[in-house]
A and B are shown apart, each in its own frame.
Chain A
Amino acid sequence: MQMTTTKWLLRLGTLSIFLLFISCYSVKLVSTNGAPNPDPNNDSDDDYRNKRVIVLDTVIKAGTTTDAIGFKTQRDGCESGKLHSVEYKNTLGGSLLYLITFGSKRKVRIKYVCMKPEN
């Protein structure tokens, strides 16, 4: 009996990891013009290495009538006010939160890089 339970738990764990893996993806829009704002202190091991990346990772409370949610670029790290790239990430947790709360709580995870200031 204990063996069977362990086996099922293992299967469930594997399935959960698989679901988490496939339900987490990102889409990125990149400008073909302009240079990204650099950041020599960014040593991350991803596409944003050496770039000044701004991360919005939050849960927004929305009314049932709320359609879209908008953001403006922030001044700190985005002096040019122009966008170079925007990445939107979707996660299983975010989708579940939306479903469970009937859309009143929306997980937002956006990364953006602005254009390097021109002199």
Chain B
Amino acid sequence: MATTTTYQKSEWDTLHRNGPFKLKMLQITELEGKANIPSSVGRYNDVAKEIQRLIKDAQDHGHGFRAYGSRWSMSNIAHHPDRMHFNSYMNIDIPILAGEVHANSPYDSSNLFFFECGNTIKEISQALGAHGKSLKTTGASNGQTIAGCISTGVHGSALDVGSVQDYVVGLNLIVGPNDNDIVYLERNTRPALSDAFAQKINARVIRDDGLFNAALVSLGSFGFIHGVVIEAEDRFLLKRYVRKIDKNTALKLAKTMDFKNSDFTIDGETDANGKGNRPYHYKIFINQYVEDDEYVIEAMYKKPYTTPYPDPFTTIEKSVYRDLIYLLIKISEKFPSTIPWFIKRLEKSILPDVNEETLGTLYETFWDAPYQGPAFACSFGVDHKNSARALKLLTDLTKNEGPIPGIFAMRFAKQSEATMAFTRFPITCMIEIDGVLWQKSNKLMSLTEFSRRMTEVLQQNNIPFTIHWGKNADWGFPGLIEHMYGDNAKTWKEHRNSLLSPEMAELFSNDFLKTTSLSNVLVPVDDRFIAPIV
């Protein structure tokens, strides 16, 4: 039997120390050993029962319950003050046999894989690698758990791919403590697995496009995500280039995504006519405090997987004394005018080396992102056509009302089908500022004030935008969710109501959901949103 250890706590914090937040109880579940339950399906079903027991216990005590994985989110989206469940040890993968693929599945059966919630991107990448397969994209790192990634819409900068949730084709949710509360959910129009597979994991099947799309980016509140079915692809290599290019060329590319007719080309990455190829990944780095005619950009091109290729890992890595960073930030709080100078000095540690070139798999290219001290990140999604204008507004704000100890970057991701995905534009440009967490002083505004001003400036200039769910923002900004998502927010809530009982809707809600007014239970539920049981 899977076992859960409960720790009485007083507080909990994110990996990047964006809290602390109050917490009563931390629960950690570990699976039964293979010696006692040899089958992975047996252990998976065994731990499902344990999760249901924990949900029942939380319900009996009038507590809320929230699962989390690697605690990478910087907002309080993963937090609940009552009970938090650490699910990283729940890392089974279950093979999908040929007969377990749905008869109408549009997917190549060899690309379908089932992973338990606590598998990290790194673990999944290695498991897929053993089959000659790869994830389609990641969040530009590999430490997040798969359930955490999809719940918050984690993205990389794969222009024509999308975010992590966009290759998830099935979800196994635990929506309550009762026998019929284990659900296998997938799209009706694009089913992936057969009913036989669902029976194997004791799940009732729901095939509904609307509900599935709503549950994809669930903000952790459509029940406990126990397992996901992903669509992988054949393993590939990424050739990565770092260049410094004309600022206007870089921004024009962001606006047009027209790499074919751009002045920007890389030797060997052109077509027969010498026109630039479309990269898999495109990213712009912007130090807003430096007047420079050029920006550092990173472009990656997909290549077939062939061996041998050079070791993509650098053997020796040096790190800056963390105490030095803390000292700089303390000085910055007292004397904000020093921030641009400090950032310029640290530029070498922050930005990639110009003219750097590497070749590796997706997993090797976006490797570990180690903890480097308290950090913040604000990330706004805009239509890529508005990216240059939005960047100018946000960098001007940062310079004029700051300075703020961070630098900007732009990444790009294809539109998601998920109802509440922040990648909701045809190609979303995520304009993000990352940096060292600071304390408000009489000369430096707080992080919440800064993020509020960013929201205000985009609103005032009529630029439609979204905000990354897992990053810092003034989430209580009046009417924020409706402004960003319009009717989609209502649709999302209606689908949530259709899936969860009112008691479970409350149990799986948290302060983040309440702040954003997404926890509201809508009554009566429209018949359209009662999910069919197929």
Residue ranges of A at the interface with B (Cβ–Cβ < 8 Å):
30, 32-35, 38, 40-41, 43, 45-47, 49-50, 116-119
Contacts and interface: CB of A to CB of B under 8 A. Distances in A.
Interface of B (DSSP majority class): loop
A88 B486 CA distance: 55
22 contacts: A32-B313, A35-B120, A35-B143, A38-B70, A38-B86, A38-B89, A40-B26, A40-B28, A40-B71, A40-B88, A45-B373, A46-B371, A47-B371, A50-B15, A50-B70, A116-B88, A117-B89, A119-B34, A119-B90, A119-B91, A119-B92, A119-B116
Contact of B88 (A30, A32, A38, A41): A38
Contacts of A34: 122, 126
Nearest to A21: B321
B7 interface: yes
Interface string B353-383: 0000000000010011011010000000000
A27 B122 CA distance: 24
A13 to B, nearest CB: 19
A35 B313 contact: no
Contacts of A45: 17, 322, 373
A49 B371 contact: yes
Given A50-B70, A119-B89, 4 more contacts: A38-B89, A40-B88, A47-B370, A119-B92
- Most chain B C-beta atoms within 10 Å of own C-beta, residue among A38, A43, A119: A119
Contacts of B322: 45-46
B82 interface: no
A30 B89 CA distance: 21
Contacts of B34: 119
B371 A50 contact: yes
A32 B122 CA distance: 10
B253 interface: no
Contacts of A117: 89
B15 A49 contact: yes
Given A38-B70, A41-B26, A116 B371 contact: no
Nearest to A47: B370
A32 B86 contact: no
Interface string B115-139: 0100010110010000000000000
B105 interface: no
A43 B13 contact: yes
B31 interface: yes
A35 B26 contact: no
Contacts of A46: 322, 371
Interface in B28-53: 28, 31, 34, 40, 43
Contacts of B123: 35, 116
A85 B115 CA distance: 26
Contacts of B28: 40
A50 B71 contact: yes
Given A46-B371, A49-B371, A116 B71 contact: no
A47 B371 CA distance: 5
B91 A116 contact: yes
Interface in B326-367: 364, 367
A50 B371 CA distance: 9
Contacts of A38: 70, 86, 88-89
Contacts of B15: 49-50
A30 B314 CA distance: 12
B190 to A, nearest CB: 29
Nearest to B129: A33
A41 B7 contact: yes
Given A35-B122, A35-B123, A40-B71, A118 B91 contact: yes
A80 to B, nearest CB: 12
Contacts of B373: 45
Given A40-B28, A43-B13, A47-B371, A119 B43 contact: yes
A119 B43 CA distance: 9
A50 B31 CA distance: 20
Interface in B42-98: 43, 70-71, 86, 88-92
A66 to B, nearest CB: 30
Contacts of B17: 45
Interface string B471-509: 000000000000000000000000000000000000000
A119 B31 contact: yes
Contacts of B313: 32
Nearest to B313: A32
A50 B12 CA distance: 12
Nearest to B15: A50
A-B pairs, 4 with minimum CB distance: A40-B86, A49-B371, A119-B92, A38-B88
Contacts of B26: 40-41
Contacts of B91: 116, 118-119
B39 to A, nearest CB: 12
Contacts of B70: 38, 50
Contacts of B367: 32
Nearest to B319: A47
A45 B326 CA distance: 12
Contacts of A118: 91
